[in-house]
Amino acid sequence: MSDIISAEHIEHTILMIRGYKVILDNDLASLYGVDTKILNKAVRRNILRFPSDFMFQLTKEEYENLRFQFGTSSYGGRRYLPYVFTEYGVAMLSSVLRSERAILVNIEIMRTFGRFRRILSAHKGLAQRLDELEKKYDKRFRVVFEAIKELMEPSPDPKQNPIGFTP
Protein backbone atom coordinates (compact mmCIF):
# COMPACT_ATOMS: atom_id res chain seq x y z
CA MET A 1 0.00 0.00 0.00
CA SER A 2 2.85 2.42 0.77
CA ASP A 3 4.02 1.95 -2.84
CA ILE A 4 0.64 3.16 -4.11
CA ILE A 5 0.33 6.11 -1.74
CA SER A 6 3.61 7.81 -0.97
CA ALA A 7 3.93 10.64 1.52
CA GLU A 8 5.47 12.73 -1.24
CA HIS A 9 2.40 12.21 -3.44
CA ILE A 10 0.11 13.25 -0.59
CA GLU A 11 2.25 16.33 0.13
CA HIS A 12 1.71 17.50 -3.45
CA THR A 13 -2.07 17.31 -3.03
CA ILE A 14 -2.12 19.59 0.03
CA LEU A 15 -2.98 23.19 -0.80
CA MET A 16 -3.26 26.32 1.32
CA ILE A 17 -6.71 27.92 0.91
CA ARG A 18 -8.31 30.45 3.28
CA GLY A 19 -5.51 29.86 5.76
CA TYR A 20 -6.19 26.11 5.96
CA LYS A 21 -4.11 23.25 4.65
CA VAL A 22 -6.63 21.34 2.54
CA ILE A 23 -7.00 18.55 0.00
CA LEU A 24 -9.42 18.76 -2.94
CA ASP A 25 -12.28 16.26 -3.08
CA ASN A 26 -11.09 14.82 -6.41
CA ASP A 27 -7.55 14.30 -5.02
CA LEU A 28 -8.97 12.49 -1.99
CA ALA A 29 -11.22 10.38 -4.18
CA SER A 30 -8.22 9.43 -6.31
CA LEU A 31 -6.21 8.46 -3.20
CA TYR A 32 -9.12 6.39 -1.87
CA GLY A 33 -9.68 4.74 -5.23
CA VAL A 34 -13.29 5.93 -5.62
CA ASP A 35 -15.07 8.39 -7.92
CA THR A 36 -15.36 11.96 -6.68
CA LYS A 37 -19.12 11.61 -7.02
CA ILE A 38 -19.13 8.62 -4.62
CA LEU A 39 -16.96 10.45 -2.08
CA ASN A 40 -19.18 13.55 -2.13
CA LYS A 41 -22.33 11.44 -1.91
CA ALA A 42 -20.99 9.72 1.22
CA VAL A 43 -20.15 13.12 2.70
CA ARG A 44 -23.61 14.52 1.91
CA ARG A 45 -25.23 11.52 3.62
CA ASN A 46 -23.19 12.39 6.74
CA ILE A 47 -23.13 16.18 6.40
CA LEU A 48 -23.43 16.79 10.17
CA ARG A 49 -19.95 15.30 10.58
CA PHE A 50 -18.44 18.01 8.36
CA PRO A 51 -18.75 21.54 9.78
CA SER A 52 -17.14 24.45 7.91
CA ASP A 53 -13.73 24.00 9.59
CA PHE A 54 -13.66 20.35 8.40
CA MET A 55 -14.87 20.90 4.82
CA PHE A 56 -15.99 23.81 2.65
CA GLN A 57 -16.86 24.46 -0.95
CA LEU A 58 -14.57 26.69 -3.00
CA THR A 59 -15.87 29.94 -4.37
CA LYS A 60 -15.93 30.46 -8.11
CA GLU A 61 -12.94 32.81 -7.85
CA GLU A 62 -10.90 30.31 -5.79
CA TYR A 63 -11.69 27.56 -8.26
CA GLU A 64 -10.74 29.73 -11.24
CA ASN A 65 -7.43 30.55 -9.56
CA LEU A 66 -6.76 26.85 -9.03
CA ARG A 67 -7.67 26.01 -12.62
CA PHE A 68 -5.38 28.77 -13.84
CA GLN A 69 -2.56 27.55 -11.58
CA PHE A 70 -2.89 23.93 -12.71
CA GLY A 71 -3.56 24.83 -16.34
CA THR A 72 -6.72 22.74 -16.68
CA SER A 73 -9.19 23.21 -19.48
CA SER A 74 -12.49 25.00 -18.97
CA TYR A 75 -14.23 22.51 -21.30
CA GLY A 76 -15.92 19.48 -19.79
CA GLY A 77 -14.97 18.46 -16.29
CA ARG A 78 -16.86 19.53 -13.18
CA ARG A 79 -20.37 20.87 -13.12
CA TYR A 80 -20.11 22.17 -9.55
CA LEU A 81 -17.51 23.87 -7.39
CA PRO A 82 -15.21 21.40 -5.60
CA TYR A 83 -15.15 20.74 -1.90
CA VAL A 84 -11.94 20.83 0.09
CA PHE A 85 -11.21 18.96 3.30
CA THR A 86 -9.03 20.17 6.16
CA GLU A 87 -7.04 17.80 8.33
CA TYR A 88 -10.09 17.36 10.57
CA GLY A 89 -12.30 16.64 7.59
CA VAL A 90 -9.90 13.98 6.35
CA ALA A 91 -9.93 12.38 9.79
CA MET A 92 -13.73 12.42 9.75
CA LEU A 93 -13.75 10.74 6.33
CA SER A 94 -12.38 7.61 7.98
CA SER A 95 -15.71 7.21 9.76
CA VAL A 96 -17.64 7.67 6.51
CA LEU A 97 -15.52 5.62 4.12
CA ARG A 98 -14.90 2.23 5.67
CA SER A 99 -12.83 0.33 3.13
CA GLU A 100 -9.40 -1.01 4.06
CA ARG A 101 -7.79 1.26 1.48
CA ALA A 102 -9.56 4.31 2.97
CA ILE A 103 -8.20 3.45 6.41
CA LEU A 104 -4.63 3.02 5.14
CA VAL A 105 -4.81 6.22 3.06
CA ASN A 106 -6.19 8.17 6.03
CA ILE A 107 -3.33 7.00 8.22
CA GLU A 108 -0.78 8.20 5.66
CA ILE A 109 -2.57 11.54 5.16
CA MET A 110 -2.69 12.15 8.92
CA ARG A 111 1.04 11.40 9.16
CA THR A 112 1.72 13.88 6.36
CA PHE A 113 -0.30 16.62 8.07
CA GLY A 114 1.63 15.83 11.28
CA ARG A 115 4.94 16.27 9.46
CA PHE A 116 3.76 19.65 8.17
CA ARG A 117 2.86 20.70 11.72
CA ARG A 118 6.31 19.70 13.01
CA ILE A 119 8.02 21.59 10.18
CA LEU A 120 5.98 24.72 10.89
CA SER A 121 6.69 24.59 14.62
CA ALA A 122 10.43 24.18 13.93
CA HIS A 123 10.22 27.14 11.55
CA LYS A 124 8.62 29.28 14.28
CA GLY A 125 11.30 28.23 16.75
CA LEU A 126 14.00 29.18 14.27
CA ALA A 127 12.43 32.61 13.71
CA GLN A 128 12.29 33.17 17.47
CA ARG A 129 15.96 32.24 17.91
CA LEU A 130 16.91 34.50 15.02
CA ASP A 131 15.12 37.44 16.70
CA GLU A 132 17.05 36.75 19.91
CA LEU A 133 20.37 36.67 18.05
CA GLU A 134 19.51 39.88 16.22
CA LYS A 135 18.97 41.68 19.52
CA LYS A 136 22.26 40.33 20.82
CA TYR A 137 24.52 41.45 17.96
CA ASP A 138 25.17 44.92 16.63
CA LYS A 139 24.13 46.59 13.38
CA ARG A 140 26.94 45.05 11.31
CA PHE A 141 24.98 41.81 11.15
CA ARG A 142 21.65 43.46 10.32
CA VAL A 143 22.08 42.71 6.59
CA VAL A 144 22.67 39.03 7.33
CA PHE A 145 19.62 38.82 9.58
CA GLU A 146 17.42 40.59 7.04
CA ALA A 147 18.55 38.20 4.29
CA ILE A 148 17.79 35.17 6.47
CA LYS A 149 14.35 36.53 7.38
CA GLU A 150 13.61 37.17 3.72
CA LEU A 151 14.44 33.55 2.90
CA MET A 152 12.17 32.35 5.71
CA GLU A 153 9.14 34.36 4.53
CA PRO A 154 6.38 32.46 2.73
CA SER A 155 5.86 32.69 -1.01
CA PRO A 156 4.36 35.83 -2.53
CA ASP A 157 0.66 36.56 -2.16
CA PRO A 158 -1.35 34.07 -4.27
CA LYS A 159 -3.52 36.94 -5.53
CA GLN A 160 -0.53 38.19 -7.47
CA ASN A 161 0.24 36.45 -10.72
CA PRO A 162 3.18 34.19 -9.89
CA ILE A 163 5.80 33.54 -12.52
CA GLY A 164 6.61 29.92 -13.29
CA PHE A 165 5.25 26.71 -11.79
CA THR A 166 4.76 26.33 -8.06
CA PRO A 167 3.60 22.97 -6.66
CATH of the domain at 110: 3.10.260
The DSSP letter of residue 75 is S
Identify the residue with better confidence: 39 or 9: 39
Question: Which residues, 6+ apart, have CB-to-CB distance to 2 below 8 Å?
Answer: 108
pLDDT tens figures, 86-131:
988 988 887 788 788 887 888 888 888 888 777 777 777 777 777 7
Identify the residue with better confidence: 82 or 95: 82
Give the count of domains, the chain. Answer: 1
pLDDT of residue 161: 56
Whether 57 maps to a domain, the answer reads yes
Sign of CA dihedral 38, 101, 15, 54: positive
**The domain containing residue 22 runs over which residues?**
7-119
- Residue 157's region, left for phi above 0, alpha for psi from -120 to 50, else beta, is beta
Whether the full predicted model's pTM is greater than 0.75, yes or no, is no
Whether 160 maps to a domain, the answer reads no
pLDDT tops 70 at residue 4: no
Identify the residue with better confidence: 120 or 21: 21
Whether 124 maps to a domain, the answer reads no
Whether 133 maps to a domain, the answer reads no
Whether 135 maps to a domain, the answer reads no
pLDDT of residue 71: 57
Whether 81 maps to a domain, the answer reads yes
